Amino acid sequence: MVLSVIFLAILFIFFNAGLDFNYVIPQRLIRLATIILGGICIAFSSIIFQTLVSNRILTPSIMGYEAVYLLWQVMLLFIFGTYGLSWLGLNGNFFVSILLMLFYSWAIHRWLLTRHRHDVFQLLLFGLVLTMVISAVTQFIQLKISPGEFSIFQGLSYASFNRSQSETLIYAVIMVAIVLWILRKKRAVLDVMVLGREQAMSLGVDHHQYVKFFLAIIAILVAISTSLIGPTAFMGVFIANIAYALAGNHQHKFTLPIGCGVAIAIFLIAQILVEHVFNYKTTVSILVNLVCGIYFLVLTVRARGVS
**pLDDT value at 37 more than 70:** yes
Higher pLDDT, 133 or 105: 133
Sequence length of the chain is 307
Q: Which residues contact 111 (CB under 8 A, 6 or more apart)?
A: none
Q: Name every residue whose Cβ is closer than 8 Å to that of residue 72 and which is 6 or more positions away in sequence.
A: 96, 97, 100
Separation of alpha carbons 215 and 212, rounded Å? 5
Q: Does the pLDDT of residue 117 top 70, yes or no?
A: no
| pLDDT > 70 in the chain, percent | 93
Q: What does the pLDDT read at residue 260? A: 93
Assign 279 a pLDDT band (cuts: 50, 70, 90).
confident
Q: What is the pLDDT of residue 265?
A: 92
Measuring CA to CA, which residue among 291, 236, 303 is closest to residue 263? 236
Quote the pLDDT of residue 123.
Answer: 67
Categorize the per-residue pLDDT at 42 as very low, low, confident or very high, splitting at 50, 70 and 90.
Answer: very high
Dist. CA 84–CA 82, nearest whole Å: 5
pLDDT at position 28 over 90: no
pLDDT band at 219 (very low <50, low <70, confident <90, very high): confident
Residue 39 has pLDDT above 70, yes or no: yes
CB pairs under 8 A, 24+ apart, for 255-260?
255/47, 256/43, 256/44, 256/47, 256/183, 256/187, 258/1, 259/43, 259/44, 259/46, 259/47, 260/39, 260/40, 260/43, 260/44
Write out the CATH class of domain 2-306: mainly alpha
DSSP letter for 93, please.
Answer: H
How far is CA 254 from each of CA 69, 92, 200, 210, rounded to the nearest angstrom?
A: 30, 35, 20, 21
SS3 content of the chain, % helix, strand, coil (to 5): 80, 0, 20
Burial of 179 by CB count in 10 Å (0-12 exposed, 13-18 middle, 19+ buried)? buried
The full set of domain ranges for the chain reads: 2-306
- pLDDT confidence of residue 130: 84
- Output 16 or 119, whichever has higher pLDDT: 16
pLDDT digits (tens, 9 = 90+) for 194-217: 888 788 888 888 877 888 888 888
| Nearest partner of 256 among 207, 211, 297, 217, judged by Cα | 217
